[in-house]
Amino acid sequence: MYFAGMKRIIFVALSVLFIQMNTQAQYFVDIFSFNRQAYNIPSGAQTSDLFVNAFIPKVLKNGNTIFLRAHYEKLSMQRDSFSADYSSITLPIGMQVQLKNPKVKFTGLIIPKIAGADLGSPLSDVFQLGAYSLFTVTQSDKFRYKFGLYYNREFFGNFFIPLVGIDWKVSDRFTIYGTLPNSMKFSYAVAPSRVNTGIAFRSMTRSFRGEDVNTFVRYNELQLKAFFDFYITKKNVVFVEGGYFLGKTPLLYKNNDTENSVPSFLLKEGKAFPIINAGWALRF
């Protein structure tokens, strides 16, 4: 009975679209993962970004699914003797509902988040609230398309993103999946069930409250990179990525001027530069 229930949970989880402040869907789900990406901003600041994620689904008797996702990020920057850390904790909670049309599912989430240099600050200084909605239309076992909307109340104002994407199993080895403008992957199984490789696009905009509550840091992340997934066991995956950062590096702004960044020794804008990322995932 226990194993039957677990199989059902895993089966439904495979179809659940989840968020880590970027919206993404694919033919698998990471129940737990952590990774660290690193790069050197041309201004000289060494930067690393740590991510930890957990995903918990609960299947209801009617076949719908409620789920909770926990996401932690720590952005660290250092140049000479100067350093800064910005963190966030996000707890998206939502539901996936099967609509009357058996080919269509709807996923909705509410996304509470705290983000800033000091997460112990008064809640009103670091709190953000967002929402996510996505319709998924399954055309076949190999193809589905998606459309929806993401919203978050960032420290620079209301932030809306229309969403559109596909999950397409082109062949037994080649898969395309993602939700634009946030992510898209072109994945090829070099050794099926052992090694995958391909090209990935990633875009994610977010903000953190600064050390001074009258300031915030805006981070417009945009990456184009190659990736490798190594299956150590059937469900344990080590992944490595390398490519270029093409977006805007973290920049400091005042609350009353969201257009013009504030000069900073650490937070300077840089042009395209290399970036690496590595991590581990428990994948189903």
The whole-number pLDDT of residue 26 equals 55
Percent of the chain whose pLDDT exceeds 90: 81
What one-character-per-residue DSSP string does 25-37 give? --SS-EEEEEEEE
DSSP character at residue 22: S
Contact predicate 164/147, CB 8 Å: yes
Number of domains observed in the structure of the chain? 1
* Domain span including residue 221: 2-283
Is residue 47 pLDDT above 50, yes or no? yes
**Dihedral (CA of 166, 167, 170, 174) sign:** positive
Name the 3-class secondary structure at 14. helix
Average pLDDT estimate for 214-218: 97
The whole-number pLDDT of residue 61 equals 84
Is residue 22 pLDDT above 60, yes or no? no
The whole-number pLDDT of residue 6 equals 43
Average pLDDT estimate for 215-236: 97
Q: Are strands 248-254 and 236-245 parallel, antiparallel or unpaired?
A: unpaired
CA distance 92 to 111: 4
The per-residue pLDDT for range 163-212, each reduced to its tens digit, is 999 999 999 999 999 999 999 999 999 999 999 999 999 999 999 999 99
Count of alpha carbons within 13 Å of 185, Cβ hemisphere only? 22
CA distance 153 to 207: 10
- Bond from prior residue into 122 cis (ω within 30 degrees of 0): no
The whole-number pLDDT of residue 3 equals 41
Number of Cβ atoms within 10 Å of the Cβ of 73: 21
Percent of the chain whose pLDDT exceeds 70: 90
The per-residue pLDDT for range 230-282, each reduced to its tens digit, is 999 999 999 999 999 999 899 999 999 999 999 988 888 877 899 999 999 99
Query: In Å, what is the CA distance from 184 to each residue of 36, 48, 202?
Result: 19, 23, 7
Six-digit token pair at 85? 């850390």
**Dihedral (CA of 33, 38, 41, 46) sign:** positive
CATH at 108: 2.40.230
Is residue 16 pLDDT above 70, yes or no? no
DSSP character at residue 257: B
Name the 3-class secondary structure at 25. coil
Confidence of residue 12 (pLDDT cuts 50, 70, 90): very low
Average pLDDT estimate for 148-157: 98
